[in-house]
Structure 1
């Protein structure tokens, strides 16, 4: 365990905490690191309801380009933190995927033995309304998941 870490981040404070925790694990265990971020699919339900439709293609292309640029900056920042700590890392942006799906698919495809990610730890109605990618990863993962709060 801890030989290959997948650190999931969204650029938030909790994502940064997950990166920091991954750095400490990697230092202690000589782990390989994959830093991953995912961007949700762009919804295309524009023009429904009898008011006519229009070509949303250019808007969707622009949104996906913006997502990719934001993901690149986020991953570059995380990689710079890891490099500054003396830890080599690979980065991966998974476009058009829900984060939990992207995390689990990448972990399986790359033989990851531990997933590190942040969670707000919401419960009850807050979790129901806002969802929890961390909860989904915990429920579906075949490898240990370290949740950072």
Structure 2
């Protein structure tokens, strides 16, 4: 079984919350849907219905993911709130949640990309580390 960095980060965050009698806010985000073709969408095709379907699918998957995370927190008897941030890059969503919720620590997964992959895809963890005013625990 392969465990995703988000799963590992959730486990680490719940353990940290248990040790400190803290509550957690579990955040997931979905990137804005990009057509890759500028303002015109998919060229001459009206892509609005495709974009709506993609965003609905993203929202459904986020709801499923957050329900599973909440169940894990409930099983550990840790107070948790879930937050879905659509149309935002993960780093932006985490920083917005940090501000709104006045959180004192961030626990997040990192894919651990290096070299060319990191250059192309960027690092959401590095972005959060660069802009966070609170401690950040990254889990690979």
CA offset at residue 121 of structure 1? 2.5
Aligned residues: 134
Distance 1:123 1:70 in 2: 28
Task: Give 1:75's match in structure 2, choosing from 61, 66, 78.
Answer: 66
- Shift of residue 131 of structure 1? 1.6
Unaligned runs of 5+ in 1: 1-11
1:142 corresponds to 2:137:
no
1:9-20 matches, within 5 Å, as 13-20=4-11
Task: Give runs of aligned pairs for residues 91-106 of structure 1, distance below 5 A.
Answer: 91-106=82-97
Distance 2:4 2:90 in 1: 17
CA distance in 1 between counterparts of 2:65 and 2:55 reads 15
Matched with 1:23 is: 14
Deviation, 1:109, is: 1.3
In structure 1, distance between residues paired with 2:120 and 2:45:
31
- Aligned-CA RMSD value: 1.2
Higher strand share: 1
- Unaligned 5+ residue runs, structure 2? none
Match of 2:42 in 1: 47
Query: Is 1:120–2:111 an aligned residue pair?
Result: yes
Q: TM-score, normalised by structure 2?
A: 0.90
The structure with the greater share of residues assigned to helix is 2
1:32 matched to which residue of 2? 23
TM-score norm. by structure 1 comes to 0.85
Runs of 4+ off more than 3 Å: none
